[in-house]
């Protein structure tokens, strides 16, 4: 049986560090504050937003969920983001996706002040993710790498097959993997034979959003699989992109749920702490 790379221990370690930072900030009179924005209509994102509220409470971080009705105008969300940008008591802003069709996530997200952009979605932070300059990098790609390292796996010199090149996970993960000195092959919806690329991979990352995209017939017993996919199955369960029986055919695999998603939330709060440090630096420059 494969090593099951559960994320709870890694996430708890991150939370311990954050709690120390939160109490140190408290001594400086700083109360970390995360504002999230949601447009009603997607039960999954409402669930994730509530999960963040519970974690924030546990960490001593202030949290406010700004919820809009499904017919909200884009301009109204942008106006809120601009107010939050100017409010010095707010340190992190994030928009829960998906947004309804009539709202452009890209236009909304680019309004966030880069130093408060804890999920690395603004053009400035996307560029930093690409170049390696200091900034706030997207949480899920960071969580994928963090999980692997937590289990003692290194990426340097390894053959990595990344399945998915989406804006949220695959594309930024590709940039981070380059800097980990991995040799990366990127597969996507037009790749005819993904199994042939996996046959010479040491490590695979899945970021597709299709259940059973990786089946046991596509893998080998030395492969390490990090599954970032989140899919709702027909019977209402949450599943990754890898088939349920993958653990019998690979060396290590991250579970869904309880893997990358669990660590992603921790990394978001880690980014909030980094955002506060960046904002403190900005204040010193004024």
When asked if residue 197 is in the footprint of ligand NAP (CB under 6 A), the reply is: no
Sort 146 into a burial class: Cβ within 10 Å, 0-12 / 13-18 / 19+. buried
Give the C-alpha separation, 271 to 274, whole Å.
5
Contact set for ligand NAP, span 91-120 (CB under 6 A): none
3-class SS of residue 146: helix
Q: How far is CA 258 from each of CA 11, 45, 227, rounded to the nearest angstrom? A: 10, 17, 11
Which CB sits closer to ligand NAP, 23 or 167?
A: 167
Please identify which residue in 94, 261, 269, 275 interacts with ligand NAP, judged by CB under 6 A.
261
Q: Which residue is nearest to ligand NAP (CB)?
A: 166
Q: Using the rule CB under 6 A, which residue among 53, 110, 150, 188 binds ligand NAP?
A: 188
Q: Name which of 164 and 242 has its Cβ closer to ligand NAP.
A: 164
Task: Write the interaction track for ligand NAP spanning residues 145-184; mark x where CB under 6 A is met and - where it is not.
Answer: ------------------xxxxxxxx--------------
Counting contacts by CB under 6 A, is residue 229 touching ligand NAP? yes
Question: In the Cβ-directed half-sphere of 4, how many Cα atoms lie within 13 Å?
Answer: 13
- Quote the least distance from Cβ 171 to ligand NAP, whole Å: 7
Distance CA 248, CA 183 (A): 26
How many residues bind to ligand NAP according to rule CB under 6 A? 25
Q: Quick one: tokens of 88?
A: 């010095």
């Amino acid at each position: 049986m494969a090593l099951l790379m559960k994320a709870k221990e890694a996430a708890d370690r991150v939370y311990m560090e954050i709690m120390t930072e939160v109490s140190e900030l408290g001594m400086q009179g700083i109360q970390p504050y995360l504002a999230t924005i949601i447009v009603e209509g997607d039960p999954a994102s409402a669930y994730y937003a509530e999960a963040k509220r519970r974690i924030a409470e546990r960490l001593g971080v202030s949290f406010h969920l700004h919820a809009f009705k499904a017919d909200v105008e884009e301009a109204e969300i942008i106006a809120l983001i601009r107010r939050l940008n100017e409010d010095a008591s707010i340190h992190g802003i994030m928009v829960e996706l998906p947004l309804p069709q009539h709202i452009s996530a890209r236009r909304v997200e680019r309004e966030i002040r880069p130093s408060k952009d804890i999920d690395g979605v603004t053009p400035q932070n996307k560029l930093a993710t690409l170049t390696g300059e200091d900034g706030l990098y997207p949480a899920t790609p960071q969580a994928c790498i963090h999980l692997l390292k937590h289990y003692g796996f290194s990426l340097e010199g390894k053959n990595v097959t990344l399945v998915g090149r989406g804006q949220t996970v695959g594309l930024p993960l590709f940039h981070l993997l380059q800097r980990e000195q991995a040799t990366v092959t990127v597969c996507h919806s037009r790749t005819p034979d993904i199994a042939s690329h996996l046959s010479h991979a040491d490590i695979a990352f899945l970021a597709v959003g299709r259940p059973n995209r990786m089946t046991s017939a596509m893998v080998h017993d030395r492969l390490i699989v990090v599954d970032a996919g989140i899919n709702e199955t027909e019977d209402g369960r949450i599943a990754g992109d890898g088939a349920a029986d993958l653990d019998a055919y690979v060396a290590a695999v991250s579970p869904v749920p309880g893997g990358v998603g669990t660590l992603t939330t921790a990394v978001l709060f880690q980014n909030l702490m980094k955002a506060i440090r960046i904002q403190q630096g900005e204040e010193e420059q004024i």
